[in-house]
């Protein structure tokens, strides 16, 4: 149930853009074509972020060079506004209060979310559209105007899908003959009209403005209704419309012994990913709050200042020197996973020197001594080494992400991989990954631009797929131009 706007323009020189869920004014210096593209884009997906992205395209995505603009979009029960430069947005809220926004003085622009609104106007250079404006209503247009004035309507929850009409962008100018405006059938009167709206019937439409009716966008999901279907037991409190600050008695009504603590949260509530992820909380007696140890209890007023003293020039700069205990890659153990908290184990037999080995081996892959005895679970040892053509050698003790600027992300599993940076332009940002499964070493191409080729003794080179590929000793991963990774000492 999103609000809709019905707009009355004051003709002028700036661009006025109107669509059912919003209106905007853009500086006159923007081309008519650009104004059109903007209208077309917001018409498809009228969201403030989308509007701004489209506007940014007009300035080559330089956000600091955006043209002056003002925009108002329906958002839930209220509106979102944004303004940059010498435009003014004046809003009369449904509760009768007035508020005003201007972009003057902001180095970027100003955004504001407001609750239910009864009327809104946008004016260029302080212009306020008065009653003398054109006696027409717009719901979809690109026009030249100096001000737009809107009354906010609330659409009925179950609007029948209107008949599709050929959707072509409206011409900016010259002005076309008007089309009758069926603004009324899917609308209900505003909650608190600030002034009468001229009928809305076709006969009231003036003769000098564009009016086009387009196919409605795909039936928008009724988000408001959808979000009420929360799982039982997870009380969900949102604060968006809280009229008053949370007072000291905000949970006085909580029944004694009530264990559904979600009720107590004033802003955020929690809903477990799956029911298994949350268990009955362990209730213990109240314990004192742990004291922050170094007086950096937060939020400190200006923690940066505290640390200034240790730096040289009064600015918050710190030099971090090379540490000792962390440098050798082989010494960095994979951290225990927080969720599973158990080290990776493999089924192993032992050699005479007690090296763990794959159960099928007869000779130790490390020392060559004979293997034997019963197989038992053991912590997985390093599965050999990876020799890089640049000279570096890495233990295969934890996963490795290889690339020009490689990243290990959320999907990389519980252990933090080692990053191997290869500073070559033909290598992709994140190019490939080395991972393990049991005793196996696997390579996965990460959708690299130029691919990874697997060179195996006696075989023709094969382009590595994006699915895990099993590696064997002496395999070479070739990234082109002599950049190669060689597997050594694999079990």
Partner 1 sequence: MTADPAMRLRWGAASDRGLHRAHNEDAYLAAPPVFVVADGMGGHAQGDRASRAVIAAFVELVGSEFVSADRLDEAVREAGAAVARLASATAAPGSTVAGAVLARSGELPCWLVFNVGDSRSYLLSPSALEQVSVDHSRLQQLLDRGELAPEDAAGYGDRHVITNALGAGIQSPRVDRWLIPASSGERLLVCSDGLTDELTDTLIEATLRAEPDPQVAAETLVAQALDAGGHDNVTVLVVDAVRVDGPVGVIQGGDITVPDLETAAETA
Is 486 a binding residue for partner 1 by CB under 8 A? The answer is no
Cα(261)–Cα(281) distance, integer angstroms? 10
Rounded distance between C-alpha atoms, residue 113 and residue 74, angstroms: 10
Question: What stretches of 27-173 adopt beta strand conformation (E)?
Answer: 69-75, 78-93, 98-103, 110-114, 117-124, 141-155
Report CA-CA distances (Å) from 413 to 235, 275, 471. Answer: 32, 22, 20
Nearer to partner 1, 131 or 274 (CB): 274
Binding test (CB under 8 A) with partner 1, winner from 32, 36, 41, 76: 76
Q: How far is CA 479 from the centre of its chain?
A: 32
Q: Of the listed pieces 104-112, 359-367, 376-384, 432-440, which binds partner 1 according to CB under 8 A?
A: 104-112
Whether the CB-CB separation of 93 and 114 falls below 8 Å is answered with yes
Per CB under 8 A, contacts with partner 1 among 200-229 are 220-221, 223-224, 227
CB of 188 to partner 1, least distance (A): 20
309 binds partner 1 (CB under 8 A): no
Q: If 0-12 CB within 10 Å is exposed, 13-18 middle and 19+ buried, where does residue 423 land?
A: exposed
Say if CB 420 and CB 394 are below 8 A apart: yes
Task: Pick the closer one to partner 1 by CB: 64 or 207.
Answer: 64
* 364 scored as a contact of Zn ion (CB under 5 A): yes
* Candidate ranges 107-115, 162-170, 182-190, 360-368; the one touching partner 1 (CB under 8 A): 107-115
SS3 of residue 449 by DSSP: coil
CB of 3 to partner 1, least distance (A): 12
Exposed / middle / buried, residue 277 (Cβ in 10 Å: 0-12, 13-18, 19+): exposed
Stretch that binds Zn ion, among 240-248, 352-360, 377-385, 402-410 (CB under 5 A): 352-360
Task: Tell me the closest approach of the beta carbon of residue 76 to partner 1, in angstroms.
Answer: 6
Span interacting with partner 1, options 30-38, 127-135, 172-180, 321-329, rule CB under 8 A: 321-329
Element (H, E) at 303: helix 303-308
CA separation for the pair 372, 83 (Å, rounded): 76
Instruction: Using CB positions, name the residue nearest to Zn ion.
Output: 364
Rg of the Cα trace of the chain? 33
Tell me the longest C-alpha to C-alpha distance in the chain: 100
Site stretch for partner 1 (CB under 8 A), options 116-124, 207-215, 374-382, 419-427: 419-427
- 458 binding partner 1? (CB under 8 A): no
User: What letter does residue 157 receive in the DSSP assignment?
Assistant: S
Residue 351's binding partner, choosing from partner 1, Zn ion, none, with beta-carbon cut-off 5 to 8 A by kind?
Zn ion
Fill in the per-residue mask, 332 to 351: x = in contact with partner 1 (CB under 8 A), - = not in contact: xxxxx-xx------------
Size of the site for partner 1 (CB under 8 A): 139
The verdict on 79 binding Zn ion (CB under 5 A) reads no
Pick what 367 binds: Zn ion, partner 1, none; C-beta below 5 to 8 Å, kind-dependent: Zn ion
Please count the other Cβ atoms lying within 10 Å of the Cβ belonging to residue 99.
14
The answer to whether residue 353 forms part of the interface with Zn ion (CB under 5 A) is yes
Closest CA to 116 of 93, 140, 100, 96: 93
Does residue 95 bind partner 1 (CB under 8 A)? no
With CB under 5 A as the contact rule, the residue among 367, 376, 470, 472 that binds Zn ion is: 367
Taking residue 183's Cβ as centre, other Cβ atoms within 10 Å add up to 23
Judged by CB under 5 A, the stretch of 338-346, 348-356, 390-398, 461-469 that binds Zn ion is 348-356
Q: Which residues bind Zn ion (CB under 5 A)?
A: 351, 353, 355, 364, 366-367, 369
């Amino acid at each position: 149930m999103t609000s809709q706007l019905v707009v009355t323009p004051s003709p002028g020189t700036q661009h006025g853009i109107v669509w059912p869920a919003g209106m905007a004014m853009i500086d006159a210096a923007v081309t008519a074509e650009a104004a059109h593209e903007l209208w077309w884009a917001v018409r498809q997906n009228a969201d403030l972020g989308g509007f701004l992205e489209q506007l940014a395209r007009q300035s080559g995505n330089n956000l600091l060079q955006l043209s002056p603009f003002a925009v108002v979009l329906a958002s839930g029960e209220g509106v979102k506004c944004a303004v940059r430069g010498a435009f003014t947005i004046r809003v009369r809220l449904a509760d009768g209060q007035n508020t005003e926004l201007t972009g003057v003085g902001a180095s970027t622009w100003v955004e504001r979310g407001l609750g239910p609104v009864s009327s809104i106007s946008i004016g260029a250079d302080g212009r306020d559209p008065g009653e003398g404006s054109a006696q027409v209503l717009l719901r979809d247009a690109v026009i030249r105007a100096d001000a737009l004035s809107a009354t906010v309507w609330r659409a009925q929850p179950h609007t029948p899908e209107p008949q599709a009409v050929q959707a072509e962008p409206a011409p900016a100018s010259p002005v076309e003959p008007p089309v009758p405006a069926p603004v009324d059938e899917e609308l209900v009167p505003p909650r608190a009209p600030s002034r009468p709206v001229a009928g809305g019937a076709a006969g009231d439409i003036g003769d000098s403005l564009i009016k086009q009716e387009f196919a409605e966008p795909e039936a928008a999901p009724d988000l408001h209704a959808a979000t009420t279907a929360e799982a039982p037991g997870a009380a969900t409190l949102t604060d968006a419309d809280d009229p008053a600050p949370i007072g000291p008695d905000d949970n006085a009504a909580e029944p004694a012994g009530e264990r559904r603590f979600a009720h107590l949260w004033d802003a955020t509530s929690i809903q477990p990913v799956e029911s298994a992820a949350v268990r009955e909380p362990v209730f213990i007696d109240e314990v004192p709050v742990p004291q922050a140890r170094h007086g950096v209890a937060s939020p400190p007023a200006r923690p940066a200042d505290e640390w200034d003293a240790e730096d040289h020039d009064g600015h918050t700069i710190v030099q971090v020197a090379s540490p000792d205990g962390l440098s050798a890659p082989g010494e960095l153990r994979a951290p225990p996973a927080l969720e599973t908290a158990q080290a990776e184990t493999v089924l192993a037999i032992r050699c005479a020197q007690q090296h763990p080995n794959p159960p099928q081996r007869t000779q130790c892959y490390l020392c060559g001594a004979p293997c034997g005895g019963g197989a038992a679970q053991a912590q997985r040892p390093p599965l050999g080494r990876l020799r890089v053509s640049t000279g570096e050698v890495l233990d295969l003790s934890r996963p490795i992400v290889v690339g020009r600027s490689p990243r290990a992300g959320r999907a990389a599993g519980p252990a933090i991989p080692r990053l191997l940076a290869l500073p070559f332009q033909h290598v992709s940002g994140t190019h490939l990954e080395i991972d393990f499964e049991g005793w196996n070493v696997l390579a996965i191409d990460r959708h690299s631009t130029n691919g990874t080729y697997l060179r195996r003794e006696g075989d023709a080179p094969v382009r590595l797929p994006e699915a895990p590929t099993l590696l064997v000793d002496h395999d070479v991963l070739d990234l082109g131009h002599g950049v190669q990774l060689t597997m050594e000492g694999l079990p």
